Structure 1
């Protein structure tokens, strides 16, 4: 893969004309002038370049013969090579006898510029391909396809490495460009050293990291991964930490389930940011029940699940009954401990519990009734 376009030709002209005081032309492999110290010549066919390409050699054109060829002035024309192929020609205007000692130097300089530019382009292309593969991995469901495996193989990525997903989000405020710049700094930290991370930007303010799951080489350890996140945060400037949110998803044993890990990281980030906005790190294990229930949002099943607790909230004007229910759940239905914690008599507690049952229609003496109230409370609290 190579390229030689107008921008690169202009760069070659500008840099090589600083070496000598002669005009420089750069032609593509069809003899068309892409760059020149004389802008009026850009776009013309250079027959001297066509000769150099067809004969695969340096072509010298004297003053006496310059009128016999189209778009040509006296000078020398040297083929430019990249990986064994002729990709164009560099021409130096002037008397060939005076330019001989410049030719190979300028040719070498031009080829170095082409090689550097193509190396950068190749690296950028590989990065874009890697990013696209990562995004496809977190959005697709089921086993990896043969196309994905071939794609990964070309990029030296092992799809069978167990991974867990994490998400880093920068709070955009009103300056999305500044947030994006901050995110790129974080991306650089994650890739230096990479430790096998697969990183991709999913938006101007968010990136996903598919991290190797077995940091100790043996098993998944969420606590160890949490410590690594703390280490990353510690490397960041204080002003950057204030705008940063990081979530760690659940680890799924099958590598092809990395999309599920990503979904849990996404839900963990959403729920954690809502419930604990003062924090910057959110772990799936701390919000697992809410994450698992999140799929019921907007679903009729979810609406039915929260309806008893919703009825309680609507009827409980001063919040006393909701506070009583929370205390009762925290003490696992132990009425004496609950009454002590609320500083009320057991008969008062019993009266409140009966009132809760009447409003919600739930039998709190049965696990089903108590569980539905608990789950309804959890889901409404997270909304």
Structure 2
């Protein structure tokens, strides 16, 4: 139970508090950490006696010669889960050590408990990430997923919503971010794990799309409170655990094509654009060129059209967004109609123009 790393930490920490030489022995009585390097890896027969009896043992000038590898001092059992997992030895005259031995023992057991809890947390998180890795495969292994979920005593039931959080900057540990995420979403209702150094994937279970939206909006607010700069995307409804990869792809697409100032993005809100982005470039290029005529004013056209479409064809609102007079906007829309043959105020023509803008945006974007 006691590794050399834990034992060395015990010696270091206890020596800071007590000006005494500390030895840590394992269950075989071997000294695995000590303030006296000459005694490292030697057998301590006093420790073997303590492991056997579970009782404190004092080594005095009278009995020192009877137990190999010992010096004057006291040896106390280190208990964990009601078992003796090692022995802590304090060198010195027993009467001079006094009650300090009990304090050192308590400190040792506390450090071991903390180390154990940390290792359990690390193990649980690694198991969660193994489940996520398996679910993101094209053909997940259901038996592995069920076994790992059973070890975690977790059940994931649909419907699901997937969220991908792109973390730009943070000073907190990954463990703390995941802990806070689980508390906001609800423990037992989310599987969270990093899929990249700065991308945290969440699988929300037994949740409606509207409930997921509320939870994830609250989560982003919590991140802002923690001063964690992040963008968050979430998928459409996913009915089955084995198609989680679909939701992950939707989130990746949502983050890739949405504006950087958008912090919480629903895939459903950008789905038409996402579908357009999947059109093969050989088909997209001639379509885009044919519609977006007038190369000299191309960028001006794009800004004008997008503002008009974002305003739901409302000329007054679009002009306000562009900081221009409504008559100027009407002039530009007429110019676009003349140059391209497509009327931005006609639904079918507007749809074609919007597709062309999205395709142009994709072509102009640097590759990932």
TM-score by length of 2: 0.72
Task: Report 1:181-260 matches (<5 A).
Answer: 181=172, 186-195=177-186, 196-214=189-207, 220-222=208-210, 224-237=211-224, 240=227, 243-260=229-246
Offset of 1:258 from its aligned partner?
1.5
The alpha-carbon distance between structure 1 residues 55 and 269, as it changes in their structure 2 partners (threshold 3 A), is: same
Task: Report 1:271-310 matches (<5 A).
Answer: 271-272=257-258, 276-296=259-279, 301-310=280-289
Deviation string for 1:42-93 (max 9, x for gaps)? Answer: 3333232234435665544332442454421133433333234432212233
Partner Cα distance (1:353, 1:10) in 2: 74
Partner Cα distance (1:93, 1:11) in 2: 15
Task: Report 1:355-366 matches (<5 A).
Answer: none
1:92 aligns with 2:104: no
Partner of 2:126: 128
SS of the residue aligned with 1:305? helix
1:306, 1:373 within 8 Å by CA — same for their partners in 2? no
> What RMSD over aligned residues (CA atoms) do the two structures have, in Å?
4.2
Deviation string for 1:239-261 (max 9, x for gaps)? Answer: 947x4312112222112212211
Partner of 1:63: 61
1:13, 1:25 within 8 Å by CA — same for their partners in 2? no
Partner Cα distance (2:176, 2:121) in 1: 18
TM-score by length of 1: 0.70
Partner Cα distance (1:345, 1:374) in 2: 14
2:50, 2:87 within 8 Å by CA — same for their partners in 1? yes
SS of the residue aligned with 1:73? coil
Deviation string for 1:206-257 (max 9, x for gaps)? Answer: 212222352xxxxx334x533444333444547947x431211222211221
SS of the residue aligned with 1:88? strand
1:261 aligns with 2:247: yes
Partner of 2:4: 5
The alpha-carbon distance between structure 1 residues 232 and 244, as it changes in their structure 2 partners (threshold 3 A), is: same
Offset of 1:151 from its aligned partner?
0.3
SS of the residue aligned with 1:171? strand
The alpha-carbon distance between structure 1 residues 116 and 189, as it changes in their structure 2 partners (threshold 3 A), is: closer
